[in-house]
Chain A
């Protein structure tokens, strides 16, 4: 039972354009959402997060949008840069029910020159 789903295994975008990575979840108890970025042979690193009391959080080139009614979140990267090429994992937690993050399967983003 995949509670966090990233249906696009890969995405290719031109440098300077917007990258949009999508994530869907099924567990209505999730109230905190995060995006992690992973380069090859490295551990994932935290990128940005959002609480369920908000619908948008922005940090520089990165913005996360949350649509609770649709159980959907997205990560926007504008403008995309070649250094953004990595695997992006969506993650969710039920902060009142435990201390683990549930991760999606990841989306490989490739930003081309």
Chain B
């Protein structure tokens, strides 16, 4: 498809396990963002990629969270030793060059439930 694709759409895991969430941005979009939405909360910024580098990773909540992007395209968000407070919808977005127009294109999200 032409939009931002995320997988898995739903993930249930046990506390302490590692999870990987994948994002396939719109072709040609150089900027990629990860956000998360916890229950009753707004969208919380996690990390921003420009190409394969991450100039802003200030939103990653702990060192259990990491992300990488390869080939200027697909990105993977990894959460190690998951905790119950990691339960949220993780949203990926991409944009053509940056925020001059401000329009981000979001995927449908990956809902993570940590039991």
Contacts and interface: CB of A to CB of B under 8 A. Distances in A.
Interface of A: 2, 4, 6, 32, 34, 36, 41-46, 49, 89, 91, 93, 95, 98-106
Interface residues of B, number: 29
B45 A99 contact: no
A93 B102 contact: yes
Contacts of B104: 44, 46, 101
A100 B102 contact: no
A99 B41 contact: no
A99 B108 contact: no
Given A45-B106, A100-B99, 13 more contacts: A2-B42, A34-B102, A43-B93, A46-B102, A49-B102, A95-B100, A99-B98, A100-B33, A100-B45, A101-B43, A101-B104, A103-B43, A105-B42
Contacts of A89: 42-43
A42 B59 CA distance: 23
A44 B95 CA distance: 13
B108 A4 contact: no
A20 B33 CA distance: 29
Contacts of A95: 99-100
Contacts of A98: 48, 56
A44 B106 contact: yes
A51 B18 CA distance: 41
B106 A106 contact: no
Contacts of A103: 35, 42-45
Contact of B103 (A41, A42, A49, A102): A49
**7 tightest A-B contacts by CB?**
A43-B106, A105-B42, A103-B43, A46-B103, A103-B42, A100-B45, A34-B102
Nearest to B47: A100
B65 to A, nearest CB: 16
B55 A99 contact: yes
Given A99-B31, A99-B55, A105-B41, A43 B107 contact: yes
